[in-house]
Amino acid sequence: MKPWDGRFKDKTLPLLDKFNASIYFDKELYKEDIEGSIAHCKMLVKQGIISEENGDKIINGLSQILKEIENGEFQFKVELEDIHMNIEARLIELIGEIGGKLHTARSRNDQVATDVKLYLKKKIVEIRGKLLQLLKVLVKKAEENLDVILPGFTHLQIAQPILLSHYFMAYFEMFKRDYKRLNDCLSRMDECPLGSGALAGTTFNIDRFYTSELLGFKKPTDNSLDSVSDRDFIVEFISASAIIMAHLSRISEEIILWNSQMFNFLDLPDSMCTGSSIMPQKKNPDVPELVRGKTGRVYGNLMNILTVLKGLPLAYNKDLQEDKEPLFDTVKTVLDCIGIMTEFIDKIKPNKEIMKYWADKGFSTATDIADYLVNRGIPFRNAHKITGSIVKYCIENSKSLDELSIEEFKNFSEKFDEDIFEFISLKNVINRRNSYGGTSIKQVIFQINEAKKFLTPK
Ligand code: ARG
């Protein structure tokens, strides 16, 4: 028996039932489906479309179904296709044909769109909460490491020294944007599709503002045709998630690289690393590697949903049932990855001496030597050339910049004085980068304070 089998002569093949069903994965939406149905039922009563007595019976039945599902007693049936029809069929089993009144002025098309939005709104709030924890850990790491200097890289070549705190705050900025992107997504999707019917609205005198309010939406959606086929909010969410994963993947890559013996910048927590089954010496960074790997899933999910929507005519098409698996997978992946990386980042320890050792290798203070000459009246382009020749000289003579004598400096320009050595000390090199957003301790402390303001609940 199917709720829709009135016009059918033959029974559907089990092969069709299996292929058509979404119950395998959309049972995830059971709570939202029941919430939506209860709101719909209350509205039908308020509008005098069904009696209060019948409304009470329906709501009691739905509450019992909720308990059955949560206690693991509910029998999900593949031949009932999806969570909506499974719950409706059970309701009719429990309270008799009155249960059949619930679907008045509603279609599965507006029902599923509502369920998915209710589900995703909750999940976004959960993910946002996890991001907040990550942001807090990044600020904590930044505060703890204000005295740690490491080389900053461009092209993965040593470029200029920076504070490790500056590095952590860079990721703070990236995840702060992610946080805001999720907020934007949440506020745009906060409109209730329930009451759009199959596609054209309904002949019954429903109150969509009432259901929208009961379900905690800002307002009902404005166009029924759009409402039942809109999955933009899923695209936006997976896209925001893909960017989160890109950020997690970038910090993962740095952790993996910086932990390798050649860099040796970081110590990773034993409690979050794994060993090798053959090489006894190994301690592998599986967590950031898996996060880097799982990024592919979320990018794939984004391509998946975009492709499902491409060329889809209005309004509902069964293709839209394919929106759920990429969505659920993205939610799980992003929640897991943010959660574990927050713990992981909290526990990594920088090898301060090694970072510092490398900070002035690779002629990382060369820009400052050029700036020194500029301060003494030499045009920047000439200063750049002079400094380039100094670097060349150092390479040929296997010296670093701070190993040069004042005479050697003077051979390149009369403008050099003894104070050049102090000028290119790592601390000074860093603290002179005091432009807004720069790596000087003053600017980084300012960034940390701003971050704390952002993290303080308003
Ligand atoms: N299981 C369906 C989905 O997830 C529910 C909507 C079915 N609507 C329909 N007209 N067949 O999209």
Question: Which domains, and CATH codes, for the chain?
Answer: 5-104 (1.10.275.10), 109-357 (1.20.200.10), 361-455 (1.10.40.30)
Pocket lining: 321 vs ligand 1, CB cutoff 6 Å: yes
From the CA of 318, how far away is ligand 1's center (Å)?
A: 6
Q: Please write the tens of the pLDDT for every residue from 196-233.
A: 999 999 999 999 999 999 999 999 999 999 999 999 99
pLDDT computed for residue 272 by the predictor: 87
User: Closest ligand 1 atom, CA of 82?
Assistant: 1
pLDDT computed for residue 116 by the predictor: 98
Separate counts of helices (H) and strands (E) for the chain: 19, 6
pTM to 2 decimals?
0.95
User: 304: how many CB neighbours lie within 10 A of its CB?
Assistant: 19
Tokens of 34: 């029941």
pLDDT computed for residue 404 by the predictor: 94
Pocket lining: 196 vs ligand 1, CB cutoff 6 Å: no
pLDDT computed for residue 44 by the predictor: 98
Tokens of 311: 């060329």
pLDDT computed for residue 458 by the predictor: 81
- Which residues are identified as catalytic? 155, 276
All residue ranges of the chain with pLDDT < 50 are none
pLDDT computed for residue 8 by the predictor: 87
Closest residue by CA, ligand 1 atom 3: 321
From the CA of 97, how far away is ligand 1's center (Å)?
A: 23
Pocket lining: 29 vs ligand 1, CB cutoff 6 Å: no
From the CA of 320, how far away is ligand 1's center (Å)?
A: 7
Pocket lining: 320 vs ligand 1, CB cutoff 6 Å: yes
pLDDT computed for residue 184 by the predictor: 98
pLDDT computed for residue 4 by the predictor: 78
Pocket lining: 167 vs ligand 1, CB cutoff 6 Å: no
pLDDT computed for residue 382 by the predictor: 96
- Sequence-ordered list of residues with C-beta below 8 angstroms from that of 167, at least 6 positions apart, any chain: 150, 152
The answer to whether 196 and 224 are in contact (CB under 8 A) is yes
pLDDT computed for residue 12 by the predictor: 87
Closest residue by CA, ligand 1 atom 12: 321
pLDDT computed for residue 157 by the predictor: 95
User: Closest ligand 1 atom, CA of 198?
Assistant: 10
